[in-house]
Amino acid sequence: MENYLIWLILGLVLLGVEMMIGSIYLLALVGGCAIACVFAFMGTSFTTQCIVAAIVAIAGVIAAFVFRRNIRKKLTPNQDCDNLDKGQIINVEKIDSDGGATVNYRGAQWKAYASEGPLETGIYHIEKVDGTRLILTK
């Protein structure tokens, strides 16, 4: 069997595994196999094919690492999907004995507290959700 076919089959197998597990790191190996396939088709030695595949795979893994790190930096706590309630309006009608309030929000009873100072009756905005508590701000 020709070397370029082996590289092609290996790349397709790795691509299938990548599609199953969803890690972007295997795409670097797929890219290395694809470049090695091209070099094998051009007739270079097997050593050259392996070196080129390794260089491309290493560069791809580094690029994937940098990409993932930059994505994590951009997802601050104020922009992630868990903070969909931020800015929603809450009406506080009665203050409980512990300084908080029990409010209705999204069809359920929530315990609400002010982010600064004591909680008073009135209209508030949700600053954040802390477990089962709403932290409110004026």
For residue 11, the model assigns a pLDDT of 93
Average pLDDT, the chain: 85
91-108, pLDDT tens digit by residue?
A: 888 888 777 888 888 878
DSSP string across 46-84: HHHHHHHHHHHHHHHHHHHHHHHHHHHHH--TTTSGGGT
* 83 — pLDDT class (breaks 50, 70, 90): low
